[in-house]
Amino acid sequence: MSKRRNSKNVLFISAIVLILSTLLLGCTNESKENSTSNKDSKDMLTMAWPRDIGEMNPHVYNPSQLFATSMIYEPLVSYQDGGKLKPHLAESWEISKDGKEYTFNLRQDVKFSDGTSFNAEIVKKNFDTILKNVDLHSWLGFITKVDQTEVIDQNTFKLTLKEPYYPTIQELAVVRPVRFLGDAGFPKDGDTSKGVTKPVGTGPWVLEEYKADEYAIFKRNENYWGELPKVKKIKVKIIPDAETRVLAFEKGDLDLIYGEGAISLDAFKQLETTGNYQTSISDPVATRQLVMNTKKEQLSDLRVRQALQYGFNKKAMVDGVTSGLEEKADFILPTNFPYTSDIDVKQIDYDVEKAKALLDDAGWKLPKGKTVREKDGKPLEIELMYDSAESIQKAMAETLQSEWAALGVKLNIVGVELTVQIERFKANDFELNFFSNYGAPYDPHTFVNVVGSEGFGFNEAISSYPNRDELLKQIADVPRTTDEKERQELYSTILESLQDQGAIVPISYIKKIAVYQKDVSNFTFPANRDEHPFTGISIEK
Amino acid sequence: MGTYILKRIMAIIPIFLLATLLTFGMIHLSPVDPAEAYLSAAHIQSTDEILAQKRHEFGLDQPLHVQYVNSIIKICQFDFGISYVSNKPVWDEVTYRMPATIQLALGSIILAILVSVPLGFLAGIKKNSGIDHFSRLLSFFGASIPSFWLGYLLIFFFSVKLDLFPVEGIGTWQHLVLPSVTLAMPLIALYTRLLRASVLENLQEPYILFARTRGIHEKVIMGKHVLRIAISPMITGLGMNLGKLLTGTIIVEAVFSWPGFGRYFIEAIFNRDVPVIQCYVLLAAGLFIISNLIVDLIQMYIDPRISRKGGQRQ
C-alpha cells in the first residue's frame, strides 16, 4: 500500500510541477511579447515619475505635477539660463515708467490644442479666474498687487498693478498659476479652482491617455507654434519607489530618469559606474542652508555663530554625504540666479583653533575634565531639527554633531516629519534648522521676501541682528525699485549682510540628476526648476 | 444557529463604534491641525483668518461630541469628506483604487492556499522527509524576509535578469505574479507550518487508528478525516490575516507600483490628508471585523459544535 501511496504522491507533485511550469512558460512568451512591444515604439520616450501627474489644472497646486503641467500650458514669458527672461506667448512687453503698467503684445500664430485662437480675451479670462482666488495664490507676490486686467485689442493685453513690483515679469514665468487654459477647459461656472473640464493648452504636448496612478501618455501637438519636439510621444510611468525605478530602468523599460532625489545617490553612482548609461548633473537649482535662530540665547552671539561655521569641514561633509553630487556652497543663493553673482562675503574656512578661540572669547569655556563648554554654569547645548525622511539632512546632522563635539558643543539632533519641520520653523520653535531656497524662477526675490515677512521663521530668527530694521527696510524696498542699478545694490547689501552675520549658513548647492539610455540624446536640464526637459530630446532605436 | 449569527453580527456595531472613536481621538490628538494640513497641502499661506474659515468649514470649531456624532452620521452615508490634496470625495477615490488592491489580495491568498495546503499536508504526513525539510526551509525564508526586500529580489531575478515578468504596473496576469508571490510568502510560511502541526496532531488521534483497523482506504482517511479537521486552524489563521493582507499590501503596492489604495494611503500620510487617513483606518477596521466574522461562520459550518454551544447558551 505504501508503494501505491508513494506513486500517488509522485504523481501529485509531478502534476503541480507541470502546471506551474506551463504557467511560467506562458509568462515567458507573453511577457517577451510585451517587452518587445514596449521597445518597438521608436518615437516614444518612456520615463518614470514618483507621483501621479494629477488633474492637469494650470490654476491650482496639488496634485498636478509641475513638469507635466508645463508640457501642456505655456507662460507669457519664459525663464532662461542665468535668469534671462525671454518672450514666449507674449512677443514683447512694455513697462510704464512708474513700474505699474505692463502691456503685453501677444504672439499671433498661437492656437490652443483644440484649434481655438490664443488672444487677449482668453488671457484676461485666465487672469480674472486666477484673481478670484487671490488667497490661494498670494504666495506669488504680484498676484496681490494686481489692480486691473484689460483687453486693449485682439493681441494686446494690459496688466495694471497697485504699486510697482519689479519681479512681475519673472513671476509670469512660473508654472502655475499664470498659464493659459483654453476656453473649452473652463467648467460651466468658470471657477477652475474646483477643476477643469479638459486640459486644453497651447504647449508642445497634448495629454493623449491617462490612467490615474498608472501612466500618462503625452503626444506631440502637431500644430504647435514653436519648435516641434523631436520625439512623438512621452510616456510617464508612475513608479513611487526609487529602487523600483532603478530596476525598471536597468531592464530597459525606461529611457530616462531625472529630477531632484529621483533615485538614491548610491543608485546614481552605481548606474554611472556601469558605463552602460549616460548620466548628467544640472547647475545648482537651490542652496541647502543651515538656519540659526538668533532669538535663542546661545546663538544670539555672532562669535558663537561664526565659531560653529569655522568648526566643521564643509567640503568634506558635502563630498562625503552626497558622494560629490552636491557642491560645497559659498553663497546663500546660487550665483547663477539674477542679482546674485556680485556678492562679496567673508569666506569662512575650516579652522578648529579659530572656532575654539571664538567660543572662549564669547565666554563659553571648557571646564577641566568636562567635554561640553559652559557659561555661567550653563552647558553649550544646541538642538538641530531635520526632516527624518531626508537621508542627506540626517547624515549632515550626524556629521555636525561629531564635528562640533570636538569644539565642546553638544548638538542634539531631532528628526521630525516634514510638516512638523515646516510648522516649527514658522512658529520660530527651533534652534538650528535645515532650509533650501525656492530656485528658479522664484529667486532671489522670493527668498528675500520670505526673510522679510513675518511668520516664515526667518524674520524672527534674525531678530538679534543689530541692523535688522535697516535690513527689513531694504528687503521691502527691493521689489518697488524701478532702477536696475539700485536693485542690484540692494540685493548685494541684503545678501551680504544676511550671510556675514552668520544666521544663514550656505552648505551645498542642490542639483538635479538625470540617467538615460545610450540611445537618448540632447538631454538638457531646463533653466526653470519646474519645467519639463523634453523639447530638444531625441531617441534613436 | 440563526441567533448565533445574529448575535455575532450585532456585536460588530460596538466594535466598529470603538474603532471610529479611536480614529477620531487619534486625529484630534495629533499635533497637526487638519485646517493647517489642508492649507499646506493646497500651498496656501495660512493666515489666522483663513485658518478660522477652514476650521469652520470642516466643523472643527464645534464641540468634540458634536463633531464625533456628525462624523458617525457621515460615515454611515459613506461620506468620508473631501481629500485635501485632490479635492475629490475620498470614498470615490478609495473605491476607484479598491479593485486593484482586492485583486492583489485575492491573488496572494489563492497562491498561499495552493502552495501551503499540499505542502503543509505532505510535510505533516511525511515527517522528516525531504518535502518536510523543504517546507521548513521555505517557511523560515518566508517568515523572516521583509516584503520589500523579497519584492526587489524577485524583480531583480525574474524581471531584470530573466525577463519573465514586468517590473511594475498592472493589466495582465503576469503583472500579478511577482506582487502576489511577495505578499503570499509570509502567509505560505505561516499556513504551511500551521497545517503541518495540525496534521501531525490529528495523526496521533485514536480515530485514525480506528479507521485504519476498519480497513478504510488510506486516501480516504487522509482526505476525508485528517485534512478536513486539520485545515480548521488554518482557516482561522486565514481569516485573521485577510484584514492584515489588505493593509499589508501597502509595501508591496509601493514596490511594484501597483495602483491600489495602499499606495494612496502612503501618499495621504505624507500629505497629512486627514479624511483619507480616517477612511483608510476605518476600512481596515471594518475588514478585520468582517473577515473574522466570515471565518467564524465557516468554522461553524465545518464544526457545528460551535453554533450549538452558542445556541445552548440561549
User: In whole angstroms, what is the distance from residue B107 CA to residue B101 CA?
Assistant: 10
| A347/B contact by beta carbon, under 8 A | no
pLDDT of residue B243: 66
pLDDT at B185 exceeding the cut of 80: yes
Distance (Å, whole) CA B242 – CA B159: 28
In this structure, how many other beta carbons lie within 10 angstroms of the beta carbon of residue A496?
A: 17
Segment B263-308, tens digit of pLDDT = 888 888 877 788 888 888 888 888 888 888 887 887 777 766 666 6
- Whole-number pLDDT of residue B309: 54
Question: CB of A82 within 8 A of CB of A269?
Answer: no
pLDDT tens digits for range B60-109:
888 888 888 888 888 888 888 888 888 889 999 999 988 898 889 889 98
Q: Of A5, A136, A253, which has the smallest distance from its Cβ to B42's Cβ?
A: A136
* C-alpha span between A327 and A456 (Å, rounded): 27
CB of B121 less than 8 A from some CB of A: no
Residue A66 burial (CB count, 10 A): 18
Contacts B164 to A, Cβ<8 Å:
24, 27-28, 31
Kindly determine whether residue B166 and residue A253, on different chains, have CB atoms separated by under 8 Å: yes
**Average pLDDT of span B46-60:** 80
User: Is the peptide bond between A441 and the residue preceding it cis, with omega within 30 degrees of 0?
Assistant: yes
The answer for B 25-54 residues in CB contact with A (under 8 A) is 31-32, 36-37, 40-45, 50
Rounded to whole angstroms, the Cα distance separating A526 from A274 reads 26
Q: How far is B286 from chain A (nearest CA, A)?
A: 25
Using an 8 Å CB-CB cutoff, list chain A residues near B259: 211-214, 238
Q: What is the 3-state secondary structure (H, E, C) of A28-88?
A: HHHHHHHHHHHHHCCCEEEEEECCCCCCCCCCCCCCCCHHHHHHHCCCCEEECHHHCEEEC
Chain B contact present for A15, CB below 8 A: no
Residue of A nearest to B164 (CA): A28
Q: Give yes or no for residue B314 having a pLDDT over 60.
A: no
| ipTM exceeding cut-off 0.90 for this assembly | no
pLDDT in tens, A350-366: 999 999 999 999 999 98
Q: What is the pLDDT of residue B5?
A: 80
pLDDT < 50 positions in chain A: 1-3, 5, 17-18, 20-40
Residue listed under C-alpha cell 508503494 = A3
pLDDT tier for residue B311 given thresholds of 50, 70 and 90: very low
Q: Which of A5, A27, A51 best probes binding to B when mutated, by most B CB atoms within 10 angstroms?
A: A27
Predicted local confidence at residue A281, as pLDDT: 92
pLDDT at A368: 87
pLDDT of residue B43: 66
Residue B261 has pLDDT above 90, yes or no: no
> Cα(B112)–Cα(B192) distance, rounded to whole angstroms?
9
d(CA A507, CA A509): 7
Average pLDDT of span B113-119: 90
Q: Using 50, 70 and 90 to split pLDDT, how confident is the model at B50?
A: confident
The mean predicted confidence, pLDDT, of chain B is 83
Chain A contact for B254, CB < 8 A?
Answer: yes
pLDDT at position A24 is 41
Residue B290: per-residue pLDDT: 83
User: What is the predicted pLDDT for the residue at A11?
Assistant: 52
pLDDT value of residue B300: 77
